[in-house]
Amino acid sequence: MSTKTNKEIDIHAKSSKPKFKLSRKLSDIEKSYTKIKEEGIAFSRTLSERISSSGDTTGTPFYHFRWKRHFLADYIAYPKSDEDVIKIIQSANEYIVSVTPRGAGSCYYGSGSPTNGGVVVDMKRMKECQINKDNMTATVQTGICFSNLMDLLDEKDLELGCYPTSALTTTLGGWIGTGGTMGIGTVQNGPFLNQMVSMKVVSPTGNLKQYNEKDDFEQFFGSNGIFGIVTEVVLKIFPKSTKTDPIMAGFSSLGDLLKAIQVILSNTNPFVLRFSDKYHEYNCSGLTRHSHYMFLLYNGRNKDLDTDVKEALKLIEQNNGTFLGTKFSHDTWEDYLKHELKIKLETPVQMLQQIYIGFQKTELILNYFEKLIKKNKLNHCFYGLINRDNNVRLCLYTPTDNEYWMHFLSSKAVISRVVKYSYKLGGRIYTYGLQNTIYLHKFEKDKLKKFREKKAEVDPNYILNPLKIVKSKISFFRINMMFELIMFYRRIATKLGLAKEILVLNI
């Protein structure tokens, strides 16, 4: 543990801005978990639990543990009820201990990783669900995993309007905190926000509030839990589709693929529309025949299923696409939820960034991405999802290995370049978390100002998920300079034939 137990860090930059102070006194942390223990709330102080609850799918925070102990939780609390969460938050306010709410840790951007020690509130034991078929709603605690909720609904021939591509691991609270904008079903039924009837939230000061209006829900979507811990939601549910029909198609160019997407979205009503390159599909299902791919799923909601499928197949053919057959299409849908992390199984480090941008700018972004990859002899793949508002979520991967530091940092640098280009074209980061807060501070100052004003209003002790969104210890200038220098050296190494190539797929 750090010996600087009485140090308070003032991270207030200017007097005109709200003040956000971090405090980390080990004596107060000791009092905090002693009180939690007395309240009968389950908790853990074992090193294995502290480490496993302080990282996410990147593993990035683990690099900090040896010399930055504040990236490691001091203890983990496991609430089972609203009352437990309230007691944890009230104790944290009493002793000024940082609180990090956590779902499954599958976000990738450090949203549920502590930045100032303190307590990680692991919500996964809050998983009760009550299904009401009369009014077609489900009242659900937010620690439940989407796949478990979907199984419970399936038993009653019901289903959700949408869910994340990482539904096998992601919790309801986690998807709310990271945005819940684009996933499976959102192209047909809109974002997760639209499926809400009401929600309960424990505020940063320990008060339980219920919200019943969409305008009130919005503040908690994509805000990484800095305004409160969502403990329960009432969701709209739907009768289970009696039949679904998937389509997997290949294209020989990105241009043909994007033209097909546009006309298919205008003329049919898919439940899922995903597009990707051959490197993504090779990792997911072994496909190598085409340069780009499209996956569609129809469920017959709002439009006739057979009519939609026939129209989609006709439009695919008209745009130089090839239907890959019924069996392969069904097999792809069968394994769809496993695709999210399949690339991780094949690579030591899953480098990933997600861009939110208008469909018309998608080709520019992808061409720029592939140009940078080719020039620097790196690895890449991508997939994208589109919504009815013609906005796209692009997931850009640069598989790498941190054993090869130049390749590793160059892969991060390429993605940073793409992010900057995306903002230039009117796009933005899809979700912020710990790692992407620097882009919010650099490119979205008006949005940042609103976040900061709201945070100062609801969290006077600055305890809830600190150093996410409203403040960052890392400056964009410093990170940008480092990445640009790395890119410079990588380009020189590439021209001299000295650039190390790893994880090359010969397809």
The parts of the chain modelled with pLDDT lower than 70 are 1-19, 57-69
CB 399 within 8 A of CB 381: yes
CA gap 60, 361 in Å, rounded: 30
Together in a domain, 146 and 18: no
Q: How far is CA 203 from CA 141, 230, 232, 250, 287, in A?
A: 16, 9, 13, 48, 48
Nearest to 109 by CA among 462, 457, 467: 467
For tokens 């010969």, the residue is 506
DSSP letter assigned to residue 161: S
Together in a domain, 232 and 363: no
Q: What CATH number should be reported for the domain holding residue 157?
A: 3.30.465.10
Together in a domain, 211 and 311: no
**Given this model, what pLDDT does residue 16 score?**
53
End-of-domain residue from the set 190, 217, 239: 239
Nearest to 407 by CA among 501, 305, 301: 501
- Domain, as residue range, for 131: 126-239
Tokens for 121, please give them: 């509130």
**Given this model, what pLDDT does residue 240 score?**
94
Q: How far is CA 112 from CA 223, 337, 494, in A?
A: 12, 22, 37
| Three-state secondary structure readout of 136-156 | CEEEEECCCEHHHHHHHHHCC
Together in a domain, 327 and 421: no
Q: What CATH number should be reported for the domain holding residue 267?
A: 3.30.70.3450
Chain centroid to Cα 208, Å, comes to: 26
* 223-278 per-position pLDDT tens digit: 999 999 999 999 999 999 989 999 999 999 999 999 999 999 999 999 999 999 99
| DSSP-based three-state secondary structure for 23 | strand
End-of-domain residue from the set 346, 376, 404: 346
Asked, for residue 465, whether it belongs to a domain, the answer is no
Asked, for residue 462, whether it belongs to a domain, the answer is no
CA gap 473, 465 in Å, rounded: 14
DSSP letter assigned to residue 430: S
Together in a domain, 252 and 323: yes
**Given this model, what pLDDT does residue 8 score?**
44
Asked, for residue 448, whether it belongs to a domain, the answer is no
Asked, for residue 70, whether it belongs to a domain, the answer is yes
**Given this model, what pLDDT does residue 58 score?**
57
How many domains does the chain contain in total? Answer: 4
Together in a domain, 53 and 195: no
Where in 67-144 does DSSP place strands (E)? 75-78, 99-102, 119-122, 129-132, 137-141
For tokens 């990588």, the residue is 490
The most distant pair of C-alpha atoms in the chain lies apart, rounded to whole Å, by 70
Together in a domain, 196 and 284: no
CB 320 within 8 A of CB 256: yes
Q: pTM score, two decimals?
A: 0.89
Tokens for 473, please give them: 């210890």
Together in a domain, 267 and 296: yes
End-of-domain residue from the set 192, 214, 239: 239
Chain centroid to Cα 108, Å, comes to: 6
Together in a domain, 339 and 385: no
Q: What CATH number should be reported for the domain holding residue 36?
A: 3.30.43.10
Asked, for residue 365, whether it belongs to a domain, the answer is yes
198 strand-pairing partners = 234
**Given this model, what pLDDT does residue 9 score?**
40
| DSSP-based three-state secondary structure for 466 | coil
